[in-house]
């Protein structure tokens, strides 16, 4: 039984390590995309009511909704009382996974 426990513990450690590495690479890829795509135009200036990158007060209620909601709004577009988010930031070449990476980066920088 202890051999089983050791194997399970080792597998749990490896899964945790892989998950941590995947998250880090998501935010690294997200930063590169944020810097090279149209994201900066709105989220650095607050254009169209976009929450500025790093503005914890503006991001807190959005982050509280959960990352899946933020990703969905970024992919599909969103119009609310605070502003408008065009679908995929008006860049149809971005994949849904890339949008997820960008959102992960922005959330990390705005907590």
What local confidence, expressed as pLDDT, does residue 82 receive?
87
CB 10 within 8 A of CB 3: no
Q: Are 43 and 52 in contact (CB under 8 A)?
A: yes
Average pLDDT (7-32) is 55
At which residue do the structure tokens 């959102």 appear?
103
pLDDT per residue as tens digits for the range 35-70? 999 999 999 999 999 999 999 999 999 999 999 999
What mean pLDDT comes out for the span 80-101? Answer: 95
Average pLDDT over residues 77-91: 95
Architecture of domain 2-110: Orthogonal Bundle (1.10)
The residues spanned by each domain of the chain are: 2-110
The structure's pTM equals 0.77
Least Cα distance to 67 among 26, 39, 31 occurs for 26
């Amino acid at each position: 039984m202890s051999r089983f426990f050791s194997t399970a513990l080792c597998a749990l450690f490896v899964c945790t390590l892989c998950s941590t590495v995947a998250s880090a690479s998501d935010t690294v890829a997200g930063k590169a995309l944020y810097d090279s795509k149209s994201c900066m135009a709105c989220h650095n200036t607050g254009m169209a009511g976009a929450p500025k990158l790093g503005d914890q007060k503006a991001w807190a209620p959005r982050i509280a909704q959960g990352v899946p909601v933020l990703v969905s709004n970024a992919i599909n577009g969103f119009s609310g009382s605070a502003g408008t988010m065009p679908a995929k930031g008006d860049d149809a070449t971005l994949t849904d996974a890339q949008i997820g990476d960008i959102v992960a980066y922005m959330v990390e920088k705005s907590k």
